Structure 1
Amino acid sequence: MSVASVFSETYFGSSLPQYLLFFTVVGLGAVVGRALSYLYRRRLKKRAAATRTKIDDLLLRSVGRPVVLLGVIGGVALGREVLTPVEPLRSVLNASIRIPVVVALAWIAVRLTDGFIGTYVEAYTDRTESKLDDELVPIAGRITNIAIVTTAGIVVLDSVGYDVTAVIASLGIGGVAVAFASRKTMADVFGGAHILATKPFVVGDTVDIDGTAGTVEEVGLRTTRLRDFDGRVVTLPNAAIAGAEITNLTSEPTRRIKTFVGLPYTTTPAEMAAALDLAAETAAAVDGVDAERTGAWFWDYGDAALRIRLEYHIEALDRWKAVRDRVNRDIQAAFADAGVELTAPVGRVRIGGES
């Protein structure tokens, strides 16, 4: 066989010179991709760093490495035009273009997602007090990347001739099974996202959640931890919190205190009026009490005493117990100095039907 016949012979529909030209174009595409990558590293990256916005930096970082692959793909696409392929080479060439394009686009999308989260989202979550968003953001990023890679994989399978309908159906069935098995976990995760979005409380707040009161120590992905007033750690699932009645005690500007004082039935109206004034004035004089919102009233006739209702508002919420204690002590001392008699609780014992 002569050299001329070798060059004129066709292989899968194309001659040897056509193949040589094809690979030359592919090589040129790779060179162009490398040149663009060099331009990115040497020139564009520096210019992007000099601008105020971070979007251009993010875009350049995302396409920096895949650009070489895109150059090769462009070379294959152009080089294919010089060939006259027959099956199965035509299908192989078409797939060799579609598959790398899908891979390159998925690669860029994943890098964009990671870059956006690292540049913008994590910078925001670092400024918040809650730890929940710090846990949710990486999970959201991984879920997004898995969705991108899964979609790219389905497109690649379709490009090589697989029936993707069965694949999608199996993924759907598997997703339903996983969702059913982890429904409680997912409910807690969505409950945590609800807490993050609505912000009924933040770490450090004192809250009452359906009767469970304490200071919020941590808002996690699945649970929220409180430390109650006895110093115990209470862990609540986020799904339960999302549907619970929440009272944020930290948000109140003051804490209202209501208490009752009993005077004997021998107390005269003048003595009652003096006792009311003395109780209100004594409470208002205590440091940490809002004097403008303090009052005492002759409330009702008890079984064994004339009852005075004292009401005041504590402004110093961080030491409200100490302020309440001081009010009670000062009123006791003031009544003793003024000779105001207080009644003792009366107990009744029933014996044989008579009390």
Structure 2
Amino acid sequence: MNKPLVWAIAAALVIAGPLVGVAVRRLVDRLAAKLSSDTRAVHRMTFGLLRDLAVPVCSLGGLTLALALPTGLPFSPRTVHQMLEAALLLAITFSVARLAAEVVTTVARRLTGISGSVSLFGTITRVVVFVLGVLITLDSVGVKITPLLGALGIGALAIALALEGTLANLFAGVHILASKTVNPGDFVKLDTGETGWISDVNWRTTTIQDIPGNFIIVPNRKFAEAILTNYHRPEQDMAVLVEVSTSYGSDLEHVESVTMDVARRVMKELDCGFAGADPRVRFHTFGDSGVEFRVVLRTRHYEDQYLLISEFIKALHRRYREEGIVFPFPTRVLEFAPDSERGSRLLAGLHTP
């Protein structure tokens, strides 16, 4: 067989390898698209590995067949074999790392029962699988990894000391997700004042999206050490307190009845109100201007309390005017002694030694 023909066959094999890989990938995509929605999530991960390996494996296969031909290239067969084996192992490592990260992320989401991101678990899994794959690849090509592991251990210790803060954030992020104190999607408030929904917990920071829509980035270590209020635990609905007062001349029984009626109607009409809950009215203080009491409403979500309070105050103000119930203005009564008594006290003060 003449050399031009051999080179032509070798070139054809090198070109045909990636083309066959692309064809296999498209075939896998079509098979995955025909799956039902109930089994698509499970089979997507199964077909994902085959899809990721299709192009690199077929490309390496075509290159292997091409190098097996008598082309006369000045390469050692052993060296070529080791290079191809290393390339295949690296391709498998990348694909398995991606698959493992997707599996861990899916399992974490199902265990927590939320659809938010748990990217930290996926990142850690991807890094661990990738490091193991690189070590296996080095061992397969004849590199002794025992001294390398020792050097990596010493290097890891030095890196751990240098990156103490970063590693503290990493393990704090793992603790946050593993302890299930919060989950992505929960509405929380920190003792430092930050308030919003948990958007993501990654290897270094926790992202909180506040009510206006801005992102607040909090280091995991500070987030784990903060005094935190989770408004989604144990339930998302919550009590809302509204302070009200009425004059001393008002009939408190009538005030309570009217206030309860307004509170029930507002909670029933608004979507954010918890219609199944019963409001409460509790008188608690004889104030400077009138009798003060507290109205306890209930809302479905923390962020809905502002609309509920606003609508309740407007409705209560309108109803009190109709019923003749008075909101007291701040007043203060001052009593003065008679002029003769006041003058005698002043003189007594002047003659006191």
Does the TM-score normalized on the shorter chain lie above 0.5? yes
Q: Which residue is 1:112 aligned to? A: 92
Q: Deviations over 1:61-91 (max 9, x none)?
A: 56445557988999xxxxxxxxxxxxxxxxx
1:256-292 alpha-carbon deviations (Å, 9 max, x no partner): 222333334444xxx2111110011012112323454
The answer as to whether partners of 1:217 and 1:225 remain within 8 angstroms in 2 is: yes
SS in 1 for 2:298: strand
Letter in 1 for 2:134: V
Residue 282 of structure 2 contacts residue 295 of structure 2 at CA under 8 Å; is this kept in 1?
Answer: no
Q: Does 1:256 align with 2:239?
A: yes
Tell me the residue number matched to 2:160: 179
Question: TM-score, with normalisation over the residues of structure 1?
Answer: 0.59
Cα–Cα, structure 1 residues 229 and 347, in superposed 2: closer, same or farther, change >3 Å?
farther
Residues 1:240 and 2:222 aligned together: yes
Do residues 145 (structure 1) and 127 (structure 2) align? Answer: no
- CA distance in 1 between counterparts of 2:218 and 2:225 reads 12
Report the Cα offset of residue 150 of structure 1: 3.6
CA distance in 1, matches of 2:116, 2:80: 42
Report the TM-score when normalising by structure 2.
0.60
User: 1 CA distance for matches of 2:25 and 2:280?
Assistant: 74
Note the alpha carbon deviations across 1:107-129, whole angstroms, 9 max, x for none.
Answer: 33322232245567559979996
Q: Out of 171, 186, 189, which is 1:208 matched to?
A: 189
1:212-271 Cα shifts (integer Å, max 9, x gaps): 34233742442233354577653211233245454443564433222333334444xxx2
Residue of structure 2 equivalent to 1:188: 169
User: Distance in 2 between the 1:259 and 1:213 partners?
Assistant: 23
Distance in 2, Cα, partners of 1:225 & 1:47: 37
Which letter does structure 2 place at the counterpart of 1:141? R
Q: Distance in 2 between matches of 1:230 and 1:68?
A: 56
Structure 1: 5+ residue runs without aligned partners?
Answer: 1-30, 75-92, 350-355
What is the aligned counterpart of 2:279 among 295, 303, 309?
A: 295
Helix, strand or coil at the partner of 1:334: helix
On the 8 A contact 1:58/1:116 being kept in 2, the answer is: no
Question: Residues 121-144 of structure 1, C-alpha deviation per residue, up to 9 Å, x if partnerless?
Answer: 5599799965662x7746753553
8 Å CA contact 1:290, 1:315 repeated in 2: yes
Give the match for residue 323 of structure 1: 308
Report 1:332-351 matches (<5 A): 332-345=317-330
Asked whether the 8 Å contact 1:276–1:308 carries over to 2, the reply is no
Aligned length: 289
| Compared CA separation, residues 150 and 120, structure 1 to 2 (3 A) | closer
Kept in 2, the 8 Å contact 1:207–1:216? The answer is yes
For the 8 Å contact 1:284–1:290, the answer to whether it is kept is no
Q: Distance in 2 between matches of 1:285 and 1:114?
A: 60
Preserved contact between residue 236 and residue 300 of structure 2 (Cα < 8 Å) = yes
CA distance 1:212–1:282, shift in 2 (3 Å) = same
Give the Cα separation in 2 of the matches to 1:48 and 1:108.
22
Measure how far apart 1:176 and its partner are: 0.8
Instruction: Give the partner amino acid of 1:282.
Output: V
Matched position secondary structure for 1:341? coil
Give the Cα–Cα distance (whole angstroms) in 1 for the partners of residues 26 and 215 of structure 2.
Answer: 53
Could you say if the C-alpha distance between residues 157 and 183 of structure 1 is closer, same or farther in structure 2, counting changes exceeding 3 Å?
Answer: farther
- SS class of match (2:207): strand
Equivalent residues in 2 for 1:35-184, closer than 5 Å: 41=20, 45=24, 49=28, 54=47, 63-66=57-60, 106-118=86-98, 121=101, 130=116, 133=119, 137=122, 140-141=125-126, 144-153=129-138, 156=141, 166-184=147-165
Taking the aligned partners of 2:291 and 2:187, their CA distance within structure 1 comes to 36
Structure 2 SS opposite 1:216: strand
Q: Which amino acid aligns with 1:112?
A: I
RMSD between aligned residues: 4.9
**Residue number in structure 2 paired with 1:352:** none
Q: Which amino acid aligns with 1:275?
A: V
2:345 matched residue in structure 1:
none
Letter in 1 for 2:293: I
Cα 1:138–1:341 change in 2 (3 A) is closer
Q: Distance in 1 between matches of 2:215 and 2:159?
A: 32
Q: Which structure has the greater CA radius of gyration?
A: 1
Change (3 A) 1:300 1:48: closer
8 Å CA contact retained: 1:113, 1:145 = yes
